[in-house]
Structure 1
């Protein structure tokens, strides 16, 4: 499998953010935040701290002990830095519904 260069990852991340692919799910009243990224293959859960993503690329790089950032994590960082993301509000009772859909 060919290696993806950083510029390609950055380009994919920029495109994802530009196309509105970063979602902040905010649940009330707890104010729990869950982030997801819409990628080419589906929607993935992401976490900034610790840096985690449910996409296969992140999983396999972690399994090999490399834990490299995927473009979904780079998209999250860009979106937070620029404020370019969608916020979806929900009730705390709906957290497990979202997790069930994305896991």
Structure 2
């Protein structure tokens, strides 16, 4: 468990929790930059695109360190917010999906 807490602290302190806001619609996409990969998340639905989340759910684990990182970053106000135009939304989603 200590290893996860160290990873969470590292993600948060390095501001690798990103909130992508599209304007003017105010659509939001959360991502966490991991080791060589960016994972997208829905903190409200408690979902992450990482394999750790997927396989963890199979063994009844409730979350992954990416989701825990988002929660801590929100609490400590250490989120990097990046603003895009709504016209960039489809290309952004395509890029995320192609990374999966």
Displacement of 1:10: 1.6
* Aligned counterparts of 1:32 and 1:89: Cα–Cα separation in 2: 10
Unaligned runs of 5+ in 2: none
Helix, strand or coil at the partner of 1:34? strand
Secondary structure in structure 1 of the residue aligned to 2:95: helix
SS in 1 for 2:90: helix
Q: 1:7-26 maps to which residues of 2 (within 5 A)?
A: 7-26=2-21
- The equivalent residue for 1:44 is 39
Task: Please name the residue that 1:90 is paired with.
Answer: 84
Asked if the contact 2:30–2:41 (Cα under 8 Å) also holds between the matched residues in 1, the reply is yes
Whole-Å Cα distance in 1 between the matches of residues 5 and 68 of structure 2?
A: 7
State the match for 2:28 in structure 1: 33
The one of 63, 66, 72 equivalent to 1:72 is 66
Structure 1 segments unaligned to the other structure (5+ residues): none
Q: How many correspondences in the alignment?
A: 97
TM-score between the two structures when normalised by the length of structure 1: 0.86
Q: Does 1:102 align with 2:96?
A: yes
User: What is the TM-score with the length of structure 2 in the denominator?
Assistant: 0.89
Deviation of the 1:95 alpha carbon = 1.6
In structure 2, the CA distance between the partners of 1:101 and 1:67, relative to structure 1 (3 Å rule), is: farther
| 1:60-88 Cα deviation digits (max 9, x unpaired) | 122x1514311100110011111101111
